[in-house]
Every structure is written in C-alpha cells, then in structure tokens.
A and B are shown apart, each in its own frame.
Chain A
Amino acid sequence: MIELDRRTREMIEEVRELGRLHIRQMGLDADQSAMPPPVDHEFYYICARQDGLVSRMVGADEGSGALDWKPFRNFLVGEEAAYWDRGVALSLPGPGLGGPAMRSTATPEQRQRFLEVFTDHSKPRWGAMAMTEPGAGSDVARIATRARKDGDEWVLTGQKMFCSNSARAEWVVVWATVDPSLGREGHRAFVVERGMPGFEILKIEHKMGSRGYETASFTLDDVRVPAENLLGGEEFYQSRAGFKASMATFNMTRPLHTAHGVGMGRAAHDFALDFVKAEYPKHSRRRQLAMERLARIRRGLHTARLMYLNAVWLAKTGKSNALEASYAKMYSPPIILEAVTAALEILGEAGVRNDKMLEKLYRDVKILDIGEGTQQVQRVVVARQLFDFPRDK
C-alpha cells in the first residue's frame, strides 16, 4: 500500500482537478489536431504561477536556484497527470528532462543562472534535454554531435531528434562528444540557449500518439557556446566518479516512464471498470470474465507501481538503482499495453471510436516500450548487470 503525506495527497488532488478541467481535454484536442497545446494555453499559466504546481514539484529554493528534489512526490504526481494525459503531463512548464542534468552536473553558478528563469512566474517557461540522434537512439554511446573547443567557446555541430519541448525551451541541455572513439567517456553536456546562431528547429514530429507534447528535431550548425555553458565545467568530466554519478541520473527517467505508464493503465482500467458496472448484467458470465481481467490489470499496475517506487527509493537513499530502474522499465510496458487492450476488448467495438478515449490510449501507450530504451535494450542492460553480458566490440 502506498502511504502518502498530506502535501503529496493535496498535490495529487490538485492534479486530478486540473486533469478534469484541462489536461484530458488538452490531450484530446492535441490528438485531434496533431499539434501540442500552444505555449500560451491557460493551463500552462496556471501551472507556472508562483503557488502553481510546477514550482512546488520542483521545490525550487528560489533564492539560490537550487533544486530540492522531491522524487516520490514528483513521481506520484506524474503518475496522476499521466492518468489524464501523458502527453500533456510531459508538456508541463519547467526544466523538464533538463532538470536531472542540472541537479547532478551543473555548478552552483550554473544552477543559479539557468534555473532563475523559472522563478519568473509571469509566464510559463520550459527547459529541455537532447541526447537522441538520427543514428543513435537507445545506444547513446554512438552519438555523433561534435563539440570542439575554440578559444573560450565550444562549437557544436550535429543533429538531435525526439527532443521533448525543445522548440519552446529557454535552453536545451545538449549532449555531444569531444571524441566518438571514447564512447560515453567522451560525452559532454552543454546548455544551448534559445536564439543562439546555428540552433535551428527542423520540425515537430507527427506521431501515432502521445501528441500532447512536442517532439522536435533540431540542427546545431556550428553553434558557438561560451565555455561557462559546459555543464559542470571541465573539471567535472575529469572525475570519472562524478561523471558516472551524472549519468546515473538517467536511471530516474526509466522509473518515470513506468510511473506514467501506471497512470495510463489506470485510466484504461477505470474506463473498463465503469463500463462493466454500467453495462454488464450482474451475475453474468461475461461480467465475471471481465472482472477477472480487471483484477489481472490491477495486479500488474500495482506491481509496476511498487517497482518504480522502489527504484526511486533506492536513488533517494543513495543506493544504485540501475538494475531496478531497468526492471521497472522492462516489466511495465507489456502490462500497460495489456491493460489498454483488455479495456478495449471489454468495451468491444465501442472502444475504438475516438470519442471513447481508449483508442487514443492504445496509440499513446506504445511509446512506453520504446522511449528511454526499448524492452530489448532493458533486457540487455539487466543482463549486463546480472551476469556481465558482453558488450559488442
């Protein structure tokens, strides 16, 4: 069972209310128009205001720009937001996936400088993080975006894709390599700011589902970045332990995927449950079978939730969670897909009409088994940790 403190419960209630009022409809609208909600949507202003959701999720100490990490709360709130629409949940203003890199890698001065923008509550603002490239997805060691030093500047050249919210971001944490032959040891993180010459958004991707947030591709055409935008500074990357710790922050994005998946699975479950209660005659064989399927969904979702909370707890208590994060990531997507599939089958053909939401969920959930490392990649990661499964030469 999940024990929630008062503030977390209040925030979940708040998200639920926002979900009813805004999030679900925004997701449906985005799905219909195949465009993410506009940056000036009322919902984003509500979230960005001083007492709004974003500042409390980030828990920013506004004076220093430090990030006070509240992972349990953020993950549970993330699950609830994804219940209403995962795409819109991913489009929430704030540092986004750039936040973990800021927390683990940035110097205090950099945190002050780049996070201060989020203390201006007059309008919503976004941060972003870019790793994936056309030729490097799950295998991030293959990224080819080059970084070369030129005097007091770094020059970035390459192309990034599948970058959430980058077209509306104030800055993007861009991962590049100083030498591809070094693999991940050669990686550096730079903060590329909006408007820097050579930083050009190519397109917003058209996706099968999860259309509530923008997924952008951009090019870096000899973008000149000042040396002080190298996240963590030069010394940081000379310390292998520090760099590994930085990379370990990615172990938090896999459980977040699972949290989102649990929210989406719950949404499917609840649609089906309400349908069964209303439409299936009591004591009918069909109702009994549906209830057994619902129970299976509940079991899978409950297990997946405990798995992501366990991975978060390990990280919060300073323990390695690489294995458990991958367990959660590989376990949950098939369960979530099964939940949506079962819900569709319980509703029957009525479920495939797009005014029923379930057909959208069916399109939305598939990305969970792809993003942040596919099912197959997670198994490779687990195998490497459990029994030293070899890397290809």
Chain B
Amino acid sequence: MRDFTLAPEIEELQAAAERLARTELEPNVRDAEAAGRWPDAVLDVLDGFPLGGLDLPEELGGVGAGATAKVVALETLAHADASGLAGADRPGPTVGAVMACPDRDLAAQVAATGLDRSAQAALTVIDPEHGAHELPWGPGLPPLRWIWVSEGDTLRLHEVAGTPTPVQVLAFQASAPVSIAYADTVMRGSWSLGPRTSLDVRSRARLWGAAVAVGIAQAALEETIEYATDRIVFGKPVAHHQGNAFDLAAAAAGVHGARLVVRDAAAAYDREEPDAGFWATQAWLEAMDAAFRATNTGIQLLGGHGFIADHLAEKRFREARMLALSVGGRDCAEADVATFVLDIEDPLTAGRELS
C-alpha cells in the first residue's frame, strides 16, 4: 500500500544535505551568484555524496541510490540556494540521456567526466520543426564539453570543439552559464530512440527541474510567511489581511501537492514503471505552477522589499521562471503528456470499462 515514508538512508542523505545547506550555502548565496560559482568547499562535499551519481546506475559509474534520493537531495539544496546546482550536479539533468544512449561505452565516458569534475554536460530540447543553431545556455564550470540534444525521437551527442562564451542569464548565475554555436561542436552520435525513451530523456531532466522548483517554492513560502507575519500594514500583519492569507494558503497547498507528485514520479522511476516518464513530466508541470505561484506571491507580499536584492524573493522569482523554460519549456511538456494521455492507464482502474 502507498507509503509516504522516506527510507532511512534517504532521510540520512536529507539531513546531510540540510547541514551543508545551512552551513555553506545559505550564508553565501549572493556571493556565489556574483562569483558565478559555488565555493570549492561546497563542490567538494557534493562530489563526495556524490550528488551527481545518486541517480546514476552503478554500471554507468553512479551509486544507484535512485531517483527518490536524488529529488530529496535537490529539494533540500535548492531550498538554500539553487543557483549553482546546474553546475554542481553532473550529470544532473542529463542523466536520462546518459541512461538512454544506446552507445553504453560513450555514455559511460560522458558520465565519468562529469563525476570526476573534468567536464560539464548540458541537455537541450530542439523542436524538429524549427531547429536551432546554438545552445542558449549551459553550465560552464568545469568546462562545458558535452551537449545532449533531444530532437523529436532522436537523441544526439555533440562534443564541444570551440570555446563557449560566458553569458548573463535570468538566473542560475552560480552555474557559470555559457553558450556555444553547434557549428563549434562535433557530433559524436545520433540515435533514434522511439517516443517512450525520448520522453524519458526529457522527463528525467524535468524531474530534476521539478525537484529544484519544489525546494525554491518551499523556501519562498517560508520567507514570505516570516516577512508577512512580521510586517505591519494598516494595523495588522500583512498575512492577517484575508486576501493575502488566502493567497498564501493557496500557494502552500500548491507546494505541498507538487512535492507529492515529484516524489511520486521519482518513486515510479525507481520501480521502473513504464509510465514514469509521463508522470515525471506531469510532476514538472505541477511543480512549475507551484513554484511560480509561491515565488510570485512572495514578491507581491514583500512589496518593494521583494523587488530588491536585500531579500531572496526576487532571485527565487527569476529561478522559477527559468526552470519553467528548460527542457523545451511548457509547450513541449504539455505536448509530451498530451501525446501519451490516451494510452496511459489510471493505476486504480487498469482494465476498466465504461458503461
């Protein structure tokens, strides 16, 4: 029967991530964003977890702790600071591509360069009808070397040959964002995967973003409640005006629901459910809505204080939006789940018939 308990080893991991977040990430959020990277001390600890290898199977060099362990770790770290996660977690969002790549030796090689911190990898989604001539952004520290491209049902791997250009992007500045034209890359492989596996490539990346979004949203909610119960307007705390209270309650329910569906999708991957990719993309959509609502409510209730850098509300607002543009963005995710919706059975009603 359904059990919402985390396994003891995942709780231990969560506790370790919380300690790291509290001692190393939280005090350095703005400095890390300005520096364009998380401190080496943090990266050393995360590589020791290893954060990148948590959800990577052992045959590909990971520790095979599973997707649930990974999303819990990501939620916890993102709660403190998400900005450097895209750089610190290798293979991170590209894990689905690594696992789906039919050339196992090449996939293992790519993963290994991430785990040993010698190279960075990115995943991007290209609409087959429009194409693309450059990677808009990817993590650049350690140097970006690999670009996984999901284009329709095709997976490609490009190896960077030129020098990526540092770019300023909306958020995740501590992941040292860089851009590069595909003309400055060499294609190392191209594989036709079929619709289900292609969905998994994108869905594992979305699960990554969804977990990060839940952490950001939870942090936004907590900061907003703290501020809004302290700050007095028109004779009572901001949060005690009913309109504001209702917005906060709705945001909180959204974050709660998003956390449940994200962890549920991760558990589906851990059980090797055939529909896990469908539910992971659904979880991403739910988490993006929740994160936008929580961070937008946060800025709104902090008022002018939400708009200035003294608080983290504006940073989380930017991060939530940027996550929602990743992996092809919302339209791509909606199209992905729509493609499969007619064939996905409800687990409760498998074999049902309508009267």
Binding site for B on A (CB under 8 A): 1-5, 8, 12, 16, 19-20, 24, 72, 76, 79-80, 83-84, 266, 270-271, 273-274, 276-277, 288, 291-292, 294-296, 298-299, 302-307, 309-310, 313-314, 317, 324, 326-327, 330-331, 376, 378-380, 382-383, 386-390
Contacts and interface: CB of A to CB of B under 8 A. Distances in A.
A164 B260 CA distance: 32
Interface residues of B, number: 51
Contact of A292 (B1, B3, B267, B338): B338
Nearest to B346: A266
Nearest to A266: B346
B19 interface: no
A5 B4 CA distance: 16
A291 B341 CA distance: 7
Contacts of B339: 291
B223 interface: no
Given A276-B342, A379-B250, A306 B225 contact: no
Contacts of A327: 252-253, 256-257
A324 B249 CA distance: 11
A303 B286 contact: yes
Interface string B195-239: 000000000000000000000000000000100110000001001
A330 to B, nearest CB: 6
Contacts of A310: 4, 260
Contacts of A324: 256
Contacts of B245: 379-380, 383, 387, 389
Nearest to A314: B4
Given A2-B347, A8-B1, A292-B335, 16 more contacts: A1-B273, A4-B347, A16-B352, A24-B355, A270-B352, A276-B342, A277-B342, A288-B338, A292-B338, A299-B261, A299-B282, A299-B285, A303-B258, A309-B4, A331-B253, A390-B240
Contacts of A271: 354
A76 B282 CA distance: 22
Interface in B1-58: 1-5
B344 interface: yes
Nearest to A273: B342
Contacts of B267: 1
Given A19-B355, A299-B337, A307-B260, A79 B2 contact: no
20 contacts: A1-B273, A2-B2, A4-B347, A8-B1, A24-B355, A83-B349, A276-B342, A298-B282, A299-B282, A303-B261, A317-B5, A324-B256, A327-B253, A327-B256, A330-B249, A331-B254, A383-B246, A386-B249, A388-B229, A389-B245
B271 interface: yes
Contacts of B337: 292, 295, 298-299
B268 interface: yes
A24 B354 CA distance: 11
B334 interface: yes
A378 B282 CA distance: 26
Given A4-B348, A72-B1, A291 B253 contact: no
Contacts of B352: 16, 270
A294 B257 CA distance: 19
Nearest to B225: A387
A125 to B, nearest CB: 28
Nearest to A277: B342
Contacts of B271: 1
B151 interface: no
B292 to A, nearest CB: 15
Interface in B231-289: 236, 239-240, 242, 245-246, 248-250, 252-254, 256-258, 260-261, 264, 267-268, 271, 273, 275, 279, 282, 285-286
A8 B349 CA distance: 12
Contacts of B252: 327, 382, 386
Given A1-B273, A273-B342, A303 B246 contact: no
Indicate the member of B5, B348, B353 with the most A CB atoms within 10 Å: B348
A169 to B, nearest CB: 30
Nearest to A329: B253
